A and B are shown apart, each in its own frame.
Chain A
């Protein structure tokens, strides 16, 4: 801790400035934060508040109602949109976590040359940011009707998988696409966590006669668990809010909540503007809950990082 930071610590707790007593005058320091909070109010808080209020507003009377929320539960198409969004997020979050963890383990702890690790981390940085329209194109070129893998399979076995009724434009196909930006994110977050496992912990375990399996089961894994679960939640939210990739990949074939909100914006496809707000609010609630979980697990994970 530098001297300035120590001084700051005191400054937070007591109200006397550390060095010299200043003449008492009106504190105008808060003015420095006005631009930021003005921006945040205009473009984050008010729009969110608007969504919140309107989703409880009746279309006919303008009064308070739970109708919009009730309709989401009652209407099969809206319920299914949530179901599709939730399942694709769950599939890719769990799948991405497991695979990302194994990959991070492989490049960090299995004694691979350092070059592989650097390469994998750089590439993960690229892949986790390579989302949206071009990613969808890449996967259509891979496994679409004229895609590379489709042609390979046809050349090898003579079977046209797409003619046989196999489709990639469903939840599983989209999951494969999402995985491209999901597991690299896990690698990026997991690699530093794996580096944080102290050699001494392993040695202590071995000195006490523990095996490698016991070390992982009783020491390493419990330490890594909060990070692992926290990142899984992050991946969940990452997939849940994605719009561009799904839109460019399958158009409106897959009825996701984000796709519905987009469609509702371009033309009132739900025939009730306030229903759109309720849909959007549902997303924010789910995201907020998952982020609360993330924050809690982050705090637990931080215990071991000192």
Chain B
């Protein structure tokens, strides 16, 4: 076992270097805005730009809309599938996994060409949010599905019904609270994904943090690196919150995808 663990340490150290070197490099680079000394000048410049707040705010708004609509769409569907439509479960599951089959760039291409003639769809962020919701499908559905398996949906529903509750009350006051932990991890992951998302926002020409970062990257030195650090901290925060919420089970529910 001695030799074994020696090589394990080597692999572990290489992995750590791979993880941290780019992060250290981008952080170090962001500090070099003033010649000769390390300073937070690049961050000051980044946070001075009103465009930063506008784009960041837009991304926050997109993330908020995505999460709300996604939950309203997914939670009742998953609940209903568990309760009454068991046979449809594989079908629903299949569609929630579609983002793994249809790449984001292909989806946005297909949607924008199909709906190009409907000016309302183009001017309002319908396609943007729809695309984000599709991206969030696997994470939210999986999280909710796992949560539903853990609670006795049928008994809860029958208990609520025998106390005279309607469907609205059952959903919002019985099912949602029971799924809080499961929903939260899906929500944080969706938030992290939407905040840095570039493909949809850029190709549909909507303001968002991702395209803003890219634009700054072509215009300025040092500031884009500062923004990359900010973006990394957001991702870290979200994953940290997921682990906090789903205590003791790291690796569950935090599997995202490439953008």
State the CA gap A270–B215 with chains docked (Å).
25
Q: Is A134 an interface residue (CB 8 A)?
A: yes
Main secondary structure of the interface of A (DSSP, over half): helix
Q: Is A226 an interface residue (CB 8 A)?
A: no
Known: A238-B258, A287-B103. A29 touches B85 (CB 8 A): yes
Q: Are A266 and B203 in contact (CB under 8 A)?
A: yes
Indicate which residue in A48, A132, A247 contacts B196 across the interface (CB closer than 8 Å): A132
The chain B residue sitting closest to A189, CB to CB, is: B255
Q: Are A138 and B210 in contact (CB under 8 A)?
A: no
Within 8 A of B (CB), among A230-281: 234, 237-245, 247-248, 258, 261-262, 264-266, 273, 276-277, 280
Within 8 A of B (CB), among A12-46: 12, 29-30, 32-33, 35-36, 39-40, 42-44, 46
A47-B111, A137-B224, A261-B105 known, 16 other contacts, Cβ within 8 Å = A29-B80, A33-B80, A36-B95, A50-B110, A103-B11, A106-B9, A110-B8, A111-B1, A125-B243, A135-B22, A141-B22, A191-B251, A248-B214, A248-B217, A283-B106, A284-B102
A70 proximity list for chain B (CB < 8 A)? none
A106 proximity list for chain B (CB < 8 A)? 7-9, 11-12, 15
Q: Are A265 and B73 in contact (CB under 8 A)?
A: no
Which residue, A110, A244, A288, has most C-beta atoms of chain B within 10 A?
A: A244
A304 proximity list for chain B (CB < 8 A)? none
Count class of interface residues, chain A: 35 or more
Indicate which residue in A7, A112, A188 contacts B254 across the interface (CB closer than 8 Å): A188
Q: Is A120 an interface residue (CB 8 A)?
A: yes
Interface 9-mer from A57-65, A142-150, A201-209: A142-150
25 contacts between A and B (CB under 8 A): A4-B155, A32-B77, A36-B73, A36-B95, A48-B102, A103-B12, A107-B12, A112-B5, A116-B12, A120-B12, A131-B256, A131-B258, A132-B198, A133-B213, A141-B228, A142-B22, A178-B258, A188-B254, A241-B105, A241-B106, A244-B202, A248-B213, A261-B109, A266-B203, A284-B101
